[in-house]
Amino acid sequence: MLTEIEGESRTKNVNGKNKTYSIEFFQGARAIICTYKGEKRNREKLNQVPYIERYGGKAVQIIGCLNLVLGIAILVGIFRITIYLIELNFEESIYTSVFLIGLYAGIKICSIGNSLLWKAGYVKATRCKRCHKNYAYEEREEPDIKEISTEDSYVVTVTRHWRCKYCGHIDSSKSPEKIKAYKGLKEMKKGTREVKCEKCGRTEFNFEYKNPDVKEDPFGTTMVETTTKYYKCNYCGNLNITEEETVYNTTPWDFL
């Protein structure tokens, strides 16, 4: 059972993962805290970061920032150029082609810059603290994931456990992830949802108890979007938690 009493906890299987939920105070607010084991990831494709061996991580970060600035400048410039061409009464096919080419180029360059910045952070996280070699750490066990949900915030942290493949050094650290975590909105217009209480077994139509939590976790060519919703039983007060997962293919637009 999980109510609003601090210290209570419950473990349940959600989408094949054993997750433990508890009620605690976090930064002065009552929070629902969820902890569970994540998945180790195949990072071979991330082990080829341009310029990192020759110029170092700082140089890659600078190149990434320059790409972002250049991409944004192209996007701003292409909008102004398109407006200028329209004012000069150019043919629609001309300014449309110019706009689409510039838009694609700006987005692509921004995407490259964003990717370089994230990969530079990944290289730093997997550099051995003992032998100082790049790409040295390999995951030795499943990571620990902690999700903290309050009325106004939602935070996800991932702690990965490493072993250096060169010197055998053991380490654990918070991993740089591209996870985007934020609060969604309750579906008030769609009315209630039929929910079966996990404690008393009664089924009732119920509104969402609070705003849902949304987590977007991109990796490789896919992104997994997880929406966590909360329903409070009107009979026994148990807090019923549901999760919905959707898998998307990523595109160059996803850096936005």
Sequence ranges of the domains in the chain: 9-43+128-251, 45-125
Cα–Cα distance, 124 to 175 (Å, whole number): 10
Question: Which residues are CB-neighbours of 7 under 8 A, at least 6 positions away?
Answer: 22, 23, 24
For the chain, what's the residue count?
Answer: 256
Mean pLDDT is highest, among 2-6, 12-16, 198-202, 226-230, for 226-230
pLDDT in tens, 22-70: 888 777 778 999 999 998 877 665 556 666 666 666 777 788 889 989 9
Give the list of residues 6+ apart from residue 195 with CB closer than 8 angstroms, or none.
203, 204, 205, 206, 231, 233, 240, 242
* Cα angle value 246/10/217 (rounded, 5°): 25
pLDDT at residue 12 tops 80: yes
CB 131 within 8 A of CB 169: yes
* DSSP output for 149-162: E-SS-EEEEEEEEE
Q: What is the pLDDT of residue 53?
A: 63
Mean of pLDDT values over 107-130: 82
**By C-alpha distance, which of 240, 245, 191, 189 is closest to 216?**
245
Q: Which tens digit of pLDDT belongs to each residue from 32-41? A: 999 999 988 7
pLDDT score recorded for residue 252: 47
The string of pLDDT tens digits covering residues 88-98 is 887 888 878 88
Residue with tokens 């990434």: 64
